[in-house]
Copies of this chain bind each other. A is one copy, B any other.
Amino acid sequence: MNEPTNLSRRRMLASSGGMVALAGLGGMGTAAAQSAAPAAAPAAAGAKPLPEYVKWKNADSLIVHSANTIETKRTAFGSSVITPTDRLFVRNNVAPPSADIVKDPDSWTLEVSGVGKPRSFTVAELKTLGLQALPMVLQCSGNGRAWFPSKPSGTQWTVGAAGCVVFTGVPVSAVLEAAGGMTDGMVYMTSTGGEEIPAGLDPKTVMVERSVPISAVKDAILAWEINGEPLPLAHGGPLRIIVPGYTGVNSVKYIKHLAFTKEQSPANIQQTGYRFAPVGTKGAPTHASIWEMPPKSWINYPSDEKQQVKAGRVQISGVAMGGMSAAKKIEVSVNGGKDWQPATFVGPDLGPYAWREFVLSAKLEPGTHQLASRTTNEAGQAQPEERLENNRGYINNSWRDHMVSITVV
């Protein structure tokens, strides 16, 4: 059986003239196919292959931690603001449902409750209620976990459990209007995912159901499209709630129930999971929930994944996000944070929830240089030097942790 080859590989093989024989690649395996690709770092020997449900992704751009946790390489973000879907990270709390659910996306059904007229909507019906294209940073709560000295359990993400994408769907506010408005006194918006709960398990222990403050309704959408294509299963198709500015777990995939509630969900993932607990302490409802994202930036080019940089003018570029408001200021240091100089935002401003590309042209002498970036958002929040320690390694936005060391020759 032949493995489908990845996009870069196929582009390289493609020639203007005749057909290209792929038959010989059958025995190479994914790692070998990766190492022949042109514009990306060769995959490490023994790199895990992409799982079947994301086989369409660009293997050269990704690090497969496990079947449900796949990270974008720091050198694979590009500089076009939007992260291509085939390079976007994947993180599922439990195994995704059957791919059958994305065969006829328009027939997927969403229940809406905690409203004047509780009812269900098919995706086809949602598509008649409104339209919004929302550029935003999707980021896993645990992005940057690899740098916590307490070695929290969970995937050891560095920068690549994040991407800036355009989700398209209907504003939650329009759905609320069609369902008779929110019942008085509701405090949370609670979303339930469509994962199948294995028989014999207490649903609370595995269900993906998350509550966010009602203030998040304002900019949230129910999305059926990502970057111009129908939302694939790996990213929550056929329908996902998108809560911009919040960490990824709050944007529940394959959403089947949207409820406006007085209490937070009783699911473990809400009550004890995704809590800001002190190191050595288990998460509990008394700890802050992992909701809003703080400002954060990092440098992608050059980075330590790139072997050597030529002395002279070096273009340092990366991404900066503001969290709940736009990134306003960006500074870069080429000496490990001793001195800072202003960098420049380039490219389009896609709104408060997207990230900005930034660039600084610096003259670098041969030797080792520590490159760092730090951003401040419109609300005046600055990216801090140090991470806030916590038991599970959430929300790391330390500029020191994200620093890269490069060798200039």
Contact = CB atoms under 8 A, between A and B. Distances in A.
Contacts of A230: 8, 38-39
Interface residues of A, number: 82
Nearest to A15: B99
Interface stretch (A76-84, A146-154, A333-341, A381-389): A76-84
Contacts of A128: 312-315, 361
Interface string A1-25: 1101101101111111111111100
A202 interface: no
Interface stretch (A48-56, A243-251, A320-328): A48-56
Interface string A291-317: 000000000000000000000111101
Contacts of A102: 11-12, 38-39
Contact of A133 (B5, B39, B346): B346
A168 B80 contact: yes
Interface centre among A11, A16, A58, A133 (most CB of B within 10 A): A16
A285 interface: no
A18 B359 CA distance: 43
Contacts of A39: 102, 105, 230
Interface string A117-152: 000000000011111111100000000000000000
A284 to B, nearest CB: 32
Interface stretch (A90-98, A203-211, A270-278): A90-98
A166 B15 contact: no
Given A38-B104, A81-B228, 17 more contacts: A1-B19, A4-B5, A8-B230, A14-B233, A15-B99, A16-B95, A18-B52, A39-B102, A39-B105, A80-B225, A82-B227, A82-B228, A87-B228, A129-B315, A133-B346, A348-B351, A350-B350
